[in-house]
Amino acid sequence: MQMNDSQSALHIPLWLTVALVFLLTGRTIIFYKDQSTLSKSNGIRWHELSALSMTEANSQPKLVLYSFTADWSRPCKLMERTTYLNREIISLINQNFFAIKIIDKIDKKTQVTVTDKFALQMENKYDIFNLPQLIVTLPSGKKVDDRSAYLSISSLKDFLGECEIKALYTKGLTYLADGKYSQAAQSFDSWLKQSNANSYYISNGYLYCALAYKMASEDKKAMDILSLALEKCYKIQDDKVTKSIIDFLMGRINEDQLIQQMESEPFNLAKARYFTGMMKLKNGNVKAGKIDFQFILEKHASYSDTDFLANGQLKLIELKSR
Amino acid sequence: MSKAVFIYTFLRLMRPGNFVSLFLWLIALPIYIAWMCCADYHTSFNNANFAMEQVAHFFTGPIIPIVTAMLVVGTTVGNTKSLHNGEYFLLTFTRPLSRFSYVFSKWCAALLAVVSITSCQILCLAISFYVLGHITHYPLGLTDVANLLLNAMAGTALIVFIQCCPIWLGVNLYMVALLCIMFNPYFITGASPRIALTGTEPLWFKILVEIFDKVYPVVQDFLTPFIDIAPFFNSIEVWWLPIFSFLSNFVLYLWLAVLVLNSREFFYANE
C-alpha cells in the first residue's frame, strides 16, 4: 500500500485497534473470573487424603494415583484446567485408578504453606520434592513410578499406561519379598511379555523371574528365561553384571567367582549377594542366607529393589523362626 | 502487504553470513539434541519416544521460533544505518509506505522463514531419533503442526515488535521475554516464591515476595507468545484464558510495533 503523504503512513488500521481492545477486555474479564482455587469437582473422582480413604485404597484392587498439588502453584493450576479436563484422561483415571488428591494451601495471614500432618507424612514417605507430582502405588502402598512437573495430555496418558504395565514388575517384587514365588514368577513373566521398558529394568525382570521360578522349583522354566535373557540382554548392552548373575543361576560359576566379579562396585555386590542368599535359602542353608541379606542392608543402605527384597526375606526368616 | 519488503526480508536470510548459524541451527542442533537424548545408557525404545515427544514440544513451543525469528528478522526492521546501498531497494522505498504495511510484510516474511526452518529442524530431529534412538512411531501429530504455526506467528510478531524498538529497549525486552518463556510453568515447575517463606522473614521481604508473586506472572503472560491447542480437543470444558491471552498478545505485538515505528525517526531508504 503506498500513501500520498507522510501523515497517512502513520495510520494504524482501526480494525487492529478494535480487535486489540476486544481481546484485552475479554482477557481481563476471564482472568478475574478465573481466580478460584483448585477445583475438586471436575470429571475425575478425586478422594481427599484421610485415614478413611487410605483404608479404602488399601482394600480395593486398582492402582492408587496420588496427585500432590498446591493452590499457589501455576503448573498445578494449568494441569487442572487442561490435562485433567480431557475426556480420555478422565475415563482412564476413573476406570483404572483410585485417585487421591493432596493440596497444599497458603495461610492468608502468615503467607506460609500449610500442609496437613497426614499429607506431610505422605510427602515424606514418597519423597515429594516438586509440585505437581504424581505417584502411582500398588494398593499396598509400594511405589510403582512417579512423575513431576506439568504433564501434557499425551505425557500423562503415556505415564499412566506405563504404570499399569510397570505395576506387574512391582507386584512381582512384592510377591518375591513375601515368599509367594509362583505368583512372583507369573507377574514377572507377564511383565516381560508386555513391557518394552529400558534395558536396565528388562535385565532385572529376567533375573527376578528366573529366580522366582527357581524358588518355586520350576527349574526348566527358569532355565528357559535365563537363556532368553542371555540372548536379549546381552544384545541390548554390554551388561556384565546381568551376565555374571545369569551364569551363577545357571550353575556355570560358583558363588565365590560371582562375588569376586562384583566386588569393585558396592551396588552390584549387594545385588549379587541377594541372589547368593536366595540360592542358599533354596538349598536349606537359612543361616548363611540371612548373613547375605543382613550384609545388603548394612552395606547398601539405599532405597533400591535389592534392599526391599532383602528386608522381605529377613522378615520371612524371622517369622518362620518364631 | 508490500511485496518488495517481503521478498527483501526473506532474501536477507540467505546472505552468506547467516550460513554458519543456519547450518548449526538447522542440522547440528537437532542431531545434537537427539544424540544427547539417545546416548543415555537407559534410553531406548519407549524412552526415546518419550524424549522425542518432549523435544518436539520444545521445537513447536515459543523458544525455537523466537530465536529463529531473531536470526531472520535480525537487523532488518527499523534500521538506522544502511547495510546495503543497492539502488533497487532505495528506489522501492522512496515513496512513503504505511508503517502497518511495512510491519505486516516483515512479519509475513519472517513467519514463512521461521516455519520453513523449524519444519526442517523437526524433520532432522525425527531422522536423528530414528537412526539413534529406535523410535517406533512418529510422535508429532496435527496439533503439533498447528502449535508450530501458531507459536511461530506470535513469536515472530514479538520479535518484529522488539526490533522496531530502540536498541536499548529492544535488547532488554528480548532478554526479559526469553527469561519469561524459559521459566514458563508449561515447561518447568515454576513454584511460587511464597513456598520458601517460613513466617519469620522481615515485613519488607514479605512485601517484596508478594509484589514479585503478583507482577512476574503478569509480565510473563504478556511476554510469552505461546499456546498449546491439544488440551482444547476432547475437553469437558473449554478454558478461554489461554486463547484470549495468546490472541491478544499476538495483536498487541503488531499494534505496538506500528506504534513504536510511528514514534521513531525512520525512513525506508535505509533498507
Residue A1 lies in a domain: no
Residue A147 lies in a domain: yes
User: Is residue A267 classed as helix, strand or coil in its secondary structure?
Assistant: helix
Q: Position of cell 521513531?
A: B264
Lowest mean pLDDT among A270-274, A277-281, B31-35, B213-217: B31-35
Do A195 and A279 belong to one domain?
Answer: yes
Do A130 and A173 belong to one domain?
Answer: no
Phi-psi region of B92 (alpha: psi -120 to 50; beta: other; left: phi over 0): alpha
Domain that holds residue A185: 164-321
Residue A13 lies in a domain: no
User: What pLDDT score does B84 carry?
Assistant: 47
Do A214 and A308 belong to one domain?
Answer: yes
Name the nearest CA neighbour of A39 among A63, A11, A67, A10: A67
C-alpha cell at A100: 487421591
Task: Flag if A23 and B42 touch (Cβ within 8 Å).
Answer: no
Kindly give, in sequence order, each residue whose CB lies less than 8 Å from that of residue A20, ignoring residues fewer than 6 positions away: B248, B251, B252, B255
User: By CA distance, what is B244's nearest residue in A?
Assistant: A27
Taking CA atoms, B81 is separated from B91, B268, B270, in Å, by: 17, 11, 6
CA dihedral of residues B125, B128, B133, B135 (deg, nearest 10): 60
Number of Cβ atoms within 10 Å of the Cβ of A224: 13
User: By CA distance, what is B214's nearest residue in A?
Assistant: A72
Do A122 and A78 belong to one domain?
Answer: yes
From A10, A12, A86, residue closest to B235, measured CB to CB: A86
Which chain A residues contact residue B188 at CB under 8 A? 149
d(CA A75, CA A167): 27
Residue A118 lies in a domain: yes
Pairing outcome for strands A113-114 and A133-137: unpaired
Number of domains composing chain A: 2
Q: What's the CATH number where A80 sits?
A: 3.40.30.10
- How would you write the pLDDT of chain B (271 residues) with one tens digit per residue? 778 778 877 777 667 777 777 777 777 877 777 776 665 544 444 555 666 666 767 777 777 778 888 777 765 554 444 444 444 455 455 566 788 888 888 899 889 888 888 888 888 877 877 777 666 566 667 888 888 899 999 989 998 898 888 888 888 888 888 888 777 666 555 455 666 666 777 888 878 877 877 788 888 888 888 888 888 888 888 888 889 999 999 999 999 999 988 887 665 554 4
d(CA B110, CA B254): 13
What residues 219-238 of chain B have any CB closer than 8 A to a CB of chain A?
228, 230-231, 234-237
- Name the residue with higher pLDDT: A107 or A267: A267
Q: What's the CATH number where A272 sits?
A: 1.25.40.10
Do A72 and A174 belong to one domain?
Answer: no
Residue A80 lies in a domain: yes
Residue A36 lies in a domain: no
C-alpha cell at B15: 546472505
What does the H/E/C string look like for B23-91?
HHHHHHHHHHHHHHHHCCCCCCCHHHHHHHHHHHHHHHCCHHHHHHHHHHHCCCCCCCCCCCCCHHHHH
User: By CA distance, what is A75's nearest residue in B?
Assistant: B185
From A30, A86, A149, residue closest to B231, measured CB to CB: A86
Do A138 and A283 belong to one domain?
Answer: no
Which chain B residues contact residue A82 at CB under 8 A? 228, 231, 235, 239
At CA B158, angle to CA B108 and CA A12, rounded to 5? 70
Do A109 and A207 belong to one domain?
Answer: no
Of A93, A118, A151, which residue is a domain's last? A151
Do A200 and A140 belong to one domain?
Answer: no
The reply to whether the predicted model has a pTM over 0.90 is no
User: Is residue A228 classed as helix, strand or coil in its secondary structure?
Assistant: helix
Of A151, A183, A212, which residue is a domain's last? A151
Measure B83 CA to nearest chain A CA, in Å.
Answer: 24
Do A230 and A178 belong to one domain?
Answer: yes
Query: What's the complex ipTM?
Result: 0.77
Which chain A residues contact residue B190 at CB under 8 A? 74-75
Of A96, A128, A151, which residue is a domain's last? A151
Residue A292 lies in a domain: yes
- Identify the residue among A22, A68, A111 best suited for mutation to test binding to B, counting B beta carbons within 10 A and taking the highest: A111
Residue A200 lies in a domain: yes
Do A66 and A102 belong to one domain?
Answer: yes
Do A175 and A86 belong to one domain?
Answer: no
Do A205 and A139 belong to one domain?
Answer: no
